[in-house]
């Protein structure tokens, strides 16, 4: 019996049906697939979410899918963002990620993000500035496993939950020392 292998691939329209199923699983679980958590009901545009979207104006991004190709199964998604201002980095960070609800807690997020480090380096996105809701324990654990260092906490809009800000450098040292393209 062969062990399933997960890999990070660039966005590909051939995966669109899998992406729609992924989003639907989040909706059924009452979660937001873009990482905003249960505070943000699906379809409700909060002031914080509007501020986040507005802060991305003029930025470019690359979306990647974390897949188990043998099964054509989408496990997670991540987005690398370039060209942000200081305010945009503070609000959104330069990387975002999500793992399908039924696959959470299995270590996929850390593996996916470690695999993304060389791609990020090649795009000049070093270090990572990451944000998460202050009560999102799972995201905080992932960021800590990547070597994230807390830079502060902010409430961007009245009535909105606190957002923690982190900077991550350590994952790049690991990528530099162990990535395949470096060791060839």
Judge if pTM exceeds 0.85.
no
48-57: which pairs have CB atoms within 8 A and are 24 or more residues apart? Answer: 48/156, 48/157, 48/160, 48/161, 48/163, 51/91, 51/156, 51/157, 52/91, 52/92, 55/84, 55/85, 55/87, 55/88, 55/91, 55/92, 56/81, 56/84, 56/88, 56/92
Grade residue 184 by pLDDT with cuts at 50, 70 and 90.
Answer: very low
The string of pLDDT tens digits covering residues 141-150 is 999 999 999 9
């Amino acid at each position: 019996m062969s062990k399933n292998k997960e890999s990070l691939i660039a966005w590909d329209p051939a995966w669109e049906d899998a992406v729609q199923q992924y989003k639907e699983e989040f909706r059924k679980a009452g979660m937001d697939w873009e990482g905003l958590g249960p505070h943000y009901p699906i379809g409700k545009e909060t002031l914080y979410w509007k501020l986040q979207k507005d802060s991305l104006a003029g930025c470019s991004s690359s979306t990647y899918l974390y897949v188990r190709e043998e099964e054509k199964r989408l496990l997670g998604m991540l987005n690398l963002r370039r060209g942000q201002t200081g305010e945009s980095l503070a609000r959104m960070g330069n990387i975002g990620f999500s793992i399908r609800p039924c696959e959470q807690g299995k270590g996929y997020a850390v593996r996916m993000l470690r695999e993304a480090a060389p791609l990020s380096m090649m795009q000049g996105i070093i270090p990572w500035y990451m944000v998460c809701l202050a009560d999102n324990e799972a995201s905080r654990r992932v960021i800590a496993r990547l070597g994230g260092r807390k830079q502060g906490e902010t409430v961007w809009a009245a009535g909105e939950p606190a957002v923690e800000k982190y900077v991550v450098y350590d994952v790049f040292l690991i990528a530099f020392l162990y990535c395949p393209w470096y060791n060839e």
